Amino acid sequence: MADQTFTITDNRTGQTFTLPVTDGTIRAMDLRQMKTGPEDFGAMTYDPAFLNTASCRSAITFIDGDRGILRYRGYPIEELAEKCSFLEVAWLLLHGELPTQAELDSWIAEVKHHTMIHETTKKFLTGFRYNAHPMTMFISTVAALSSVYPECKHVLDPAIRRQEIVRLIAKVPTIAAYCYRHQLGFPYVYPDNELSYPENFLNMLWRMAEPKYSANPVLARALDILFILHADHEQNCSTNVMRCVGSSQADPYVSVAAAAAALSGPLHGGANEEVLRMLDEIGSVENVRAYVDKVKSGHGKLMGFGHRVYKNYDPRARIIKWTAEQVFEVTGRNPKLEIALALEKIALEDEYFVKRKLYPNVDFYSGIIYQAMGFDPAMFTVLFAIPRTVGWLAQWQEMIQDPEQKISRPRQVYTGYDARKVVPLAERAPLTMKA
């Protein structure tokens, strides 16, 4: 086998260094020995936005962006979406193996036992204005749960970690539904633990005066599949935040809230809501070409297109497109689908997007389904955050159990002033004079 090393010559000093290569990487700390003199701190890597930096070793999710492959614990996403339930996949992500029937039954019972939220938690929600964005309410309320379960701060205790993981998985649909109901001025609907995870979520969203909510099985299954597709995605922006905040041993509630805050950005999980705004702005199939030309001339982006890792079709987008057809059988076809299909067709044939390897991502079609199911676009990112809570927690758990991990604290390249003296107040020139 070839020698797994890099030999690097520092042309500043003429010194040569041999660095071990592991899994195609070198340790950044191995660069520190490269110095121009005893005062030199040593060489570092400079990688804004971590375009080419592995921050951890993880066994949870594998993505091959060039081939459009996504696997959770080795299982192709297509098989999991077809053959499993979301709670089954949640168990897989957290434990590394698919559950047996007995394990799944016990897991479902455990999650159902924790779907209620403390009555005081509902009071956090009533403090929001009726038109507060559901994602803002979700982030704040999840963080507030930290005050309801003070023992959650003992993050190094496996039993406490397990208890909080179950509580969060069980409660995020309840919180999400309450955020939605608060906006509409509707009374909160308590969880119905006779229903499945997705059916209970629809129950808490949409039950009104009927004594028992009965979810449409096609919509419940579609939601379950969408939850599976959104559950994890290796070291994306919000997961990076979960690991970073968790690395200080902050509790899982404030860590999930921080991750959800990252997800809310329009370049990340907030894109699904932006896709609907974009399709509304385009208005009709006839306007698609003009909109694409506007984007190509540098005005805005095609929301729901492009990805840092996928340079091929996002496998989740393909499954979501199939799921949309199932949903439309029940809800009627969302007219925006025609605009989206026309937009996709034009973009996939246009050199601007082909050259930049821009394909539809997970957010491109999900909003069209959610809207057809009756969700307001403002809820779309909350629908992303519910399943991604499992991925964040699985990654958090893996980080805590990784002996190599410690508090995250990157370095920087300093570009500011050298040492200088304070000028007396009366002698200072105004900032404008310094331009």
- The nearer residue to ligand SDX, 258 or 271, going by C-beta atoms, is 271
Helix (H) / strand (E) element for 5: namely strand 5-10
- The nearer residue to ligand SDX, 165 or 358, going by C-beta atoms, is 358
Q: By CB under 6 A, is residue 361 in contact with ligand SDX?
A: yes
Positions marked catalytic: 268, 307, 363
C-beta nearest to ligand SDX: residue: 306
Rounded CA gap, 243 and 261, in Å? 14
Task: Kindly give, in sequence order, each residue whose CB lies less than 8 Å from that of residue 282, ignoring residues fewer than 6 positions away.
Answer: 288, 291, 339, 343
Binding-site member from 88, 164, 199, 363 for ligand SDX (CB under 6 A)? 363
In DSSP notation, 97-138 reads SPPPHHHHHHHHHHHHTT----HHHHHHHHTS-TTS-HHHHH
Give the range of 4-12, 247-255, 303-311, 334-342 binding ligand SDX by CB under 6 A.
Answer: 303-311
Rounded CA gap, 125 and 140, in Å? 9
Rounded CA gap, 310 and 140, in Å? 31
- The nearer residue to ligand SDX, 356 or 428, going by C-beta atoms, is 356
Binding-site member from 87, 125, 358, 372 for ligand SDX (CB under 6 A)? 358
- The nearer residue to ligand SDX, 152 or 241, going by C-beta atoms, is 241
Cβ 269 to ligand SDX, closest distance in Å? 6
Distance of CA 275 to the CA centre of its chain: 17
Give the range of 240-248, 295-303, 331-339, 418-426 binding ligand SDX by CB under 6 A.
Answer: 295-303
- The nearer residue to ligand SDX, 155 or 278, going by C-beta atoms, is 278
**Would you state the structure tokens that stand for residue 254, as one six-digit string?**
């404030």
Q: Write down the residue that tokens 């404008």 correspond to.
A: 432
Q: By CB under 6 A, is residue 305 in contact with ligand SDX?
A: yes
Q: By CB under 6 A, is residue 306 in contact with ligand SDX?
A: yes
Query: 428 in the Ramachandran plot: left (φ > 0), alpha (ψ -120 to 50) or beta?
Result: beta
Q: By CB under 6 A, is residue 271 in contact with ligand SDX?
A: yes
Planar angle of CA 94, 97, 103, nearest 5 degrees:
85
Give the range of 146-154, 268-276, 279-287, 338-346 binding ligand SDX by CB under 6 A.
Answer: 268-276
Site for ligand SDX in 216-235 (CB under 6 A): 233
Give the range of 127-135, 191-199, 306-314, 337-345 binding ligand SDX by CB under 6 A.
Answer: 306-314
3-state SS class at 25: strand
- The nearer residue to ligand SDX, 288 or 295, going by C-beta atoms, is 295
Rounded CA gap, 209 and 310, in Å? 45
**Would you state the structure tokens that stand for residue 435, as one six-digit string?**
């331009």
Q: By CB under 6 A, is residue 121 in contact with ligand SDX?
A: no
Q: What residue ranges bind ligand SDX (CB under 6 A)?
A: 233, 236-237, 267-269, 271, 295, 301-309, 356, 358, 361-363
